[in-house]
């Protein structure tokens, strides 16, 4: 499909979308895995062919590597990740009291590096940060998304919901118009997913690489011809808070594979 044809499909979505989006009922929630082709499902299901497992292996090595002025590893504090990290990624983002705001898993890793290891935080989307977040996320595979019921998260949840429903960019689209109102329909030959975060970090065939949920959110904003936020911004974390709440109950698939 040509770029102009894709743009026409997006414009058609704008026209057909309802003014007020309706959130997907819990009984109709479905992971993006359900919309994959047979070969892509097979790639995700087999750890020997899932490219994301390469990052997980690097993350396992980093977990045991001493770093920083403190000469401490993640394992020195947390022990065996297969035991202590089970279910952790399913509960993030979470409220961090010392900062007075919610943080995502990447930010928690960097906070531990700075405070406990006395090491320089990793850059967003760096190989090291993706590797550690993938390895930690892998320990929760099969666990259900279970965001904390913490009243301190409510302002962030409300802000994320508002951002999800806000029209932005030259195409005047919102996240909700695609992922609440038009999921299951076709766009450029692909099925529009419900847009849940249960597979991140994940390997995208389009990227030929692994990336975070914030990378995907940036891609969507660029596709809507909107100015993306900076990695680690409050806006992206708010969106993550809302998306995790919206997908509550779906199984963690990290590292998932998507088109």
Which structure tokens are listed for 15?
């026209």
Outline which parts of the chain fall under CATH 1.10.760.10.
3-46+148-258, 52-138
Q: Which of 93, 33, 30 is nearest to 255 (CA)?
A: 33
The angle at the Cα of 36, spanning 32 to 38, to the nearest 5 degrees, equals 150
| Rounded mean pLDDT, 177-192 | 91
* Cβ atoms of residues 52 and 201 within 8 Å: yes
Residues 177 and 179: their CA atoms lie apart, in Å, by: 6
Q: What is the pLDDT of residues 241-251, one digit of tens each?
A: 999 999 999 99
| Rounded mean pLDDT, 105-127 | 98
Q: Is this structure's pTM higher than 0.95? A: no
Rounded to the nearest 10 degrees, what angle do helices 127-138 and 105-115 cross at?
A: 110
Q: What is the pLDDT of residues 11-50, one digit of tens each?
A: 444 444 434 557 899 889 999 999 999 999 999 999 999 9
User: CA 186 from chain center: how many Å?
Assistant: 22
Find the DSSP H helices in the chain: 3-16, 38-45, 52-63, 74-78, 81-84, 105-115, 127-138, 154-165, 175-179, 213-223, 234-246
User: Which residues share a beta bridge with 207?
Assistant: none
- pLDDT value of position 21: 59
Which residues are identified as catalytic?
220
Q: Is the pLDDT of residue 6 over 80?
A: no
Q: How far is CA 129 from CA 121, 193, 227, 255, in A?
A: 9, 26, 24, 14
CATH number of the domain at 52-138, please?
1.10.760.10
- pLDDT value of position 22: 73
- pLDDT value of position 190: 84
Q: Mean pLDDT in the chain?
A: 92
- pLDDT value of position 187: 85
Q: Is 37 exposed, middle or buried (0-12, 13-18, 19+ CB in 10 A)?
A: exposed
Q: How far is CA 258 from CA 134, 137, 204, 239, in A?
A: 15, 16, 5, 20
Q: How far is CA 167 from CA 176, 221, 224, in A?
A: 9, 10, 9
Which structure tokens are listed for 234?
């409050």
* Cβ atoms of residues 95 and 240 within 8 Å: no
CATH of 3-46+148-258, one of 3.40.50.300, 2.40.50.140, 1.10.150.110, 1.10.760.10: 1.10.760.10
Q: What is the pLDDT of residues 66-94, one digit of tens each?
A: 999 999 999 999 999 999 999 999 999 99
- pLDDT value of position 23: 82
Q: Which of 118, 121, 86 is nearest to 103 (CA)?
A: 121
Alpha-carbon torsion angle 94, 96, 97, 100, nearest 10: -100
């Amino acid at each position: 499909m040509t770029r102009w044809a894709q743009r026409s499909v997006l414009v058609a979505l704008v026209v057909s979308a309802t003014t007020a989006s309706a959130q997907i009922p819990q009984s109709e929630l479905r992971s993006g895995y359900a919309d994959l082709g047979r070969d892509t499902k097979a790639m995700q299901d087999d750890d020997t062919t899932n490219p994301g497992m390469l990052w997980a292996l690097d993350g396992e090595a980093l977990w045991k590597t001493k770093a920083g002025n403190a000469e401490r590893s993640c394992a020195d504090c947390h022990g065996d990740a297969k035991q202590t990290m089970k279910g952790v990624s399913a509960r993030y983002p979470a409220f961090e009291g010392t900062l007075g705001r919610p943080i995502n898993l990447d930010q928690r890793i960097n906070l531990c590096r700075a405070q406990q290891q006395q090491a320089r935080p990793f850059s967003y989307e760096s190989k090291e940060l993706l590797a550690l977040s993938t390895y930690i996320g892998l320990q929760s595979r099969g666990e259900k998304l279970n965001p904390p019921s913490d009243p301190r998260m409510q302002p962030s949840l409300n802000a994320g919901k508002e951002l999800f429903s806000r029209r932005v960019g030259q195409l005047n689209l919102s996240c909700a118009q695609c992922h609440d109102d038009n999921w299951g329909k076709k766009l450029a030959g692909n099925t529009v997913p419900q847009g849940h975060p249960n597979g991140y970090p994940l390997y995208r065939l389009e990227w030929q690489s692994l990336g975070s949920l914030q990378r995907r959110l940036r891609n969507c904003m660029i596709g809507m011809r909107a100015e993306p936020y900076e990695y680690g911004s409050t806006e992206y974390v708010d969106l993550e808070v809302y998306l995790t709440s919206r997908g509550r109950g779906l199984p963690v698939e990290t590292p998932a594979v998507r088109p």
